[in-house]
Structure 1
């Protein structure tokens, strides 16, 4: 009788989790790769583990922890039984700091860009690889064990170079979300244009276009930038049409340390915000148009503050460090942000912008009157020349006839 009662109790003790959740028989198997789902977010990595297969293996949610930190409750997951099958959900901070008890492995690696991709001109690009694992405590000490252990390995790849192009604005600024299948360190790359040096008032382009040589202030910002990274603009330029890979006509504001004389770089590589300004111009190909359109583009990278300083110091040292994906050359950490079109007025109409509409009309009237008077006088002079010539010829023939009569 006692033995009969103990056997069910023993079974419960040996597999304490089997009856906790109602799991389908299809999950009565050894856990595999399909039981782990990874979401590489901007600031949090979210992991979901199939609870049923872990339960079948003889473990509950408290037996599994991030990166071997079984003594930290914040490194354990939470059960969500509202989905089918039930899952254990973990959240891991992307920032690898001392304040993160579930710290993971973070490594910056150099990569060769795709020769047919947008960064084909870069010598190398960089990415951050974050790796970690979720496991159960070691079942036994010694050389061998007959008990089951679980180990879930994951990795997230975060590129440090980004490409956003062909973004069009209507008035002042544009905000474009950036993401890929692997993950990104930023929620949004934002390029905005302003009309003041404090970057407080968005640029409003009049219907006739901006007057030539108007100062335009550009700000590129990485919103919700995770980790200790700064924004470094490698190359900012403009095109008369939306950007494409085969773009042949462009105006460079700056490439690395080389800055156009009408461009001033205010802040670059020092924070999550980069700023520069330039004077409005027109593309010569728009000479027969009332307005010239300008599309702005910037290739940028995310870099650690110390590496940003090393890259920027090359400008002062008049040399480039080839091992660091040179500043101004596209690298694995780069992206392109575009904004446009902005419109500038045609060159012959820019001088009238400083006067009122009435003054401009009067000026145009004076010019037309002068033209009419000139045409009238010119015609009269031509008529006088013709008449004078006719009289000279007539006199010549008359004198000739008279001389023949004396003969």
Structure 2
């Protein structure tokens, strides 16, 4: 069957190396179409892949597996004791970044988590099919999680790339104990009051470190270039009241500065911070360089960055 008549499980064929290439068609049960690519690359999409904060979520079509002679019950990861959830239509893997044989690699440019889904023929004695290898990769790049999956040792290759942001929270707290977060919005404060801020990276990988590169204040959450005030810039402290606090974890950063207001603007203050995620103990990474100049920062490659906004903070009326 073709087009919209494939209502449940189907395989998509794209004219190019990515699923963003033109869609040639899709087939499901009873479909026997021939597709011709305009180049030497076709993408066949029979799965979904999501790089979530704590694990990789992979869904593989059982119809595709059966059409190629593979058994859904014969799929396994690097760690064969980690089993998928098998439904009538899909094989679903939730693959942690820190177990199930997931391998963690990286350099100055990326942090990559990878695993391998292996499949074998549904035959019981012999097979003339090649073993199925689905290489699963979650790659941390500049500002993004890139998700890639491809088939090895078969007669075609599948590549998929998607993008998302790091899961980082920026939260105000009532005191230096960082035990009670501020839930009010706006957060009403007195002029020159101590403000306590915590940046928290959500990740199951304990070997990541978070670094505050830049924090800029603005009277609006939509414009951090026209009327702004630098708290910290390129790791260099700009505000005399700024100070850091001890954090029990590498993925948590805590700091403080005193409240202020913008002259001839509304009393609201928003804070935008650019944070960098690095591999722990990678002393060549941005997280361990501290205060640097703009030219030096631009010469460094592969900074993993995320920008978050907190606020508003509003001064109490006298």
TM-score by length of 2: 0.66
Structure 2 gaps of 5+ residues are 1-27, 35-42, 145-160
CA contact (8 A) 2:102 2:114 kept: no
Of 31, 34, 45, the match for 1:34: 45
Match of 1:79 in 2: 86
1:88 aligns with 91
1:152 and 2:134 are equivalent in the alignment: yes
- Report how many residues are paired: 262
Q: Which residue of 1 aligns with 2:279?
A: 304
Partners of 1:312 and 1:306 lie apart in 2 by 9
Q: Which residue of 1 aligns with 2:102?
A: 103
Question: Among residues 190, 194, 199, which one is paired with 1:220 in the alignment?
Answer: 199
Aligned residue for 2:267? 292
CA distance in 2, matches of 1:130, 1:207: 39
Residue aligning to 2:303: 332
Map of 1:265 onto structure 2: 244
Q: What's the counterpart of residue 343 of structure 1?
A: 314
* Structure 2 CA distance for aligned equivalents of residues 214 and 40 of structure 1: 40
Per-residue deviation at 1:204?
Answer: 8.4
> Compared with structure 1, are the counterparts of its residues 212 and 305 closer, same or farther at alpha carbon in structure 2 (3 Å cutoff)?
same
SS in 2 for 1:52: helix
8 Å CA contact 1:159–1:184 kept in 2: the answer is: no
Tell whether the 8 Å contact from 2:187 to 2:311 is kept in structure 1 after alignment: no
Please give the alpha-carbon distance, in whole angstroms, between the structure 1 residues aligned to 2:87 and 2:272.
45
> Does the CA-based 8 Å contact 2:71-2:121 persist in structure 1?
no
- Provide Cα deviations, 1:71-94, integer angstroms capped at 9, x if missing partner: x242x534211xxxx222223222
1:184/1:336 CA distance change after superposition, 3 Å: closer
CA RMSD of aligned residues (A): 4.2
Residues 269, 283 of structure 1: alpha-carbon distance in 2 compared, 3 angstrom cutoff? farther
Aligned partner of 1:135 in structure 2 is 118
| Residue-by-residue CA offset, 1:150-186 (whole Å, 9 max, x unaligned) | 3334433334637xxxxxxxxxxxxxxxxx9435663
2:206 and 2:216 map into 1 onto residues whose CA distance is: 28
Q: Deviations over 1:4-25 (max 9, x none)?
A: xxxxxxxxxxxxxxxxxxx933
1:27–1:79 CA distance, 2 compared to 1 (3 A): farther
Alignment TM-score, normalising by the size of structure 1: 0.53
Decide which of 240, 247, 252 is 2:230's aligned counterpart: 252
Conservation of the 8 A alpha-carbon contact between 2:231 and 2:242: yes
Q: Where is the strand percentage greater, Structure 1 or Structure 2?
A: 2
- Residue in structure 2 matched with residue 388 of structure 1 by the alignment: none
- Contact 2:141 2:302 (8 Å CA) reproduced: no
Q: Which runs of 5+ in 1 are unaligned?
A: 1-22, 111-126, 140-144, 163-179, 350-407
SS at 2:221 equivalent: coil
